[in-house]
């Protein structure tokens, strides 16, 4: 059992989302940085679809009533256990009574906490993800609150020799090197149906000018601030949109859609960020800047296949490192 001593800025339970419901007007949602979430799960022996805790900018303070294997990936939010820095991108054993907290955000926007056995909450439409706008999933469709109790599933991993003390295995993953958090960020963009309708100088502006992430940004979308872009046709017929769609409202300031986006939209579509760059998109925070690099769809597909292969290999190698916790007869 895990008790929430302080909820942090915005902490929600998420998994890989609920696809297959967009025809009902339900967004897929899920973890903004699904790569970091999947690796957090892999580090503690969970399947990729297990629920994790997504923490935004300022993480919560949690107390563990029993020992647990945990891992923290994604942004660097100054994680610490009982006042000591916590090693990220690796599994860590926390004995009963440990307090996990977070301090100043150093790099990135969202960190992910996985617990061996996963977080136990009721699935809604096949997912444990929190949909804040619809008010369902996770902990009743809301962020963590002070005093909440979260249950974790059964730990299937071998315990350390002394479960009463913190323990770190002598290995970690270097996936954080594949999540560059340089600024300005450069996101690869597959040109969309309205890309060619932009004047040449506006297309160059997206590639060379640094657009700033506005304060009114969240999991639904990132509002970008920069030189106003002009488009002859200000509206189009509504069509499906996806994570990473770059829309252009009449005001000329682009919107980059997130995982909690609406299912359709009528704004012109300039393009879609390649899925291989979704982790970088998810880690953008207000005040940071971004540029776009147009790439053909074939190139984006190749990059996606390479990343998927890397993830499969990582999961396989981590699976070989973990002996199962077999009960004594």
Q: What rounded mean pLDDT belongs to the chain? A: 90
What is the greatest pairwise CA distance in the chain? 74
pLDDT band at 291 (very low <50, low <70, confident <90, very high): very high
Provide DSSP, 36-56. HHHHHHHHTT--TTS-EEEEE
Residue 323: per-residue pLDDT: 59
Residue 328: per-residue pLDDT: 39
Q: Is 327 exposed, middle or buried (0-12, 13-18, 19+ CB in 10 A)?
A: exposed
pLDDT band at 234 (very low <50, low <70, confident <90, very high): low
- Is the backbone peptide bond immediately before 24 cis, with ω within 30 degrees of 0? no
Q: Does residue 243 have a pLDDT over 90?
A: yes
Going by C-alpha positions, the residue among 198, 294, 183, 304 that lies closest to residue 254 is 198
Q: Does residue 297 have a pLDDT over 70?
A: yes
Secondary structure letter of residue 324 according to DSSP: B
Q: What is the spatial distance between Cα 23 and Cα 240, in angstroms, rounded to a whole number?
A: 10
Going by C-alpha positions, the residue among 30, 68, 65 that lies closest to residue 46 is 68
- CATH number given to 182-295: 2.40.100.10
Q: What is the spatial distance between Cα 235 and Cα 248, in angstroms, rounded to a whole number?
A: 9
Residue 92: per-residue pLDDT: 93
Residue 239: per-residue pLDDT: 87
Torsion of CA 298, 300, 303, 309, to 10 degrees: -80
Q: What percent of the chain clears pLDDT 70, i.e. is strictly above it? A: 94
Of 20-29, 275-284, 316-325, the range with the highest mean pLDDT is 275-284
**Phi, psi (5° rounding) for residue 197?**
-75, -15
Q: Does residue 326 have a pLDDT over 50?
A: no
Residue 96: per-residue pLDDT: 93
Q: Where are the domains of the chain?
A: 1-175, 182-295
């Amino acid at each position: 059992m895990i008790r929430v001593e302080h909820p942090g800025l915005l902490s929600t339970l998420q998994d890989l989302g609920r696809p297959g419901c967009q025809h009902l007007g339900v967004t897929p949602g899920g973890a903004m940085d699904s790569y970091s979430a999947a690796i957090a799960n892999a580090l503690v022996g969970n399947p990729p679809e297990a629920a994790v805790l997504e923490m935004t900018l300022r993480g919560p303070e949690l107390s563990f009533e029993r020992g647990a294997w945990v891992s923290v990936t994604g942004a660097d939010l100054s994680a610490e256990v009982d006042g000591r820095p916590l090693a990220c991108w690796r599994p860590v054993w926390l004995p009963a009574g440990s307090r996990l907290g977070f301090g100043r955000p150093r790099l990135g926007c969202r960190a992910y906490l996985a617990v061996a056995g996963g977080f136990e909450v009721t699935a809604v439409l096949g997912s444990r993800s929190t949909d804040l706008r619809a008010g369902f999933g996770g902990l009743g469709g809301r962020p963590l609150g002070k005093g909440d109790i979260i249950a974790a599933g059964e730990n299937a991993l071998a315990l350390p020799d002394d479960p009463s003390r913190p323990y770190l295995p002598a290995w970690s993953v270097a996936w954080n090197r594949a999540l560059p958090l340089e600024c300005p960020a450069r996101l690869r963009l597959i040109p969309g149906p309205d890309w060619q309708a932009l004047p040449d100088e506006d297309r160059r502006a997206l590639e060379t000018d640094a657009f700033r992430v506005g304060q009114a940004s969240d999991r639904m979308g990132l509002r970008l601030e920069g030189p106003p872009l002009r488009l002859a046709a200000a509206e189009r017929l509504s069509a499906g949109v996806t994570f990473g769609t770059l829309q252009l409202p009449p005001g000329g300031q682009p919107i980059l859609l997130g995982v909690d986006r609406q299912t359709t939209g009528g704004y012109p579509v300039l393009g879609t960020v390649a899925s291989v760059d979704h982790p970088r998109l998810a880690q953008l925070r207000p005040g940071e800047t971004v540029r776009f690099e147009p790439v053909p769809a074939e190139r984006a597909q190749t990059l996606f296949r390479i990343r998927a292969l890397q993830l499969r290999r990582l999961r396989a190698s981590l699976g070989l490192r973990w002996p199962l916790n077999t009960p004594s007869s």
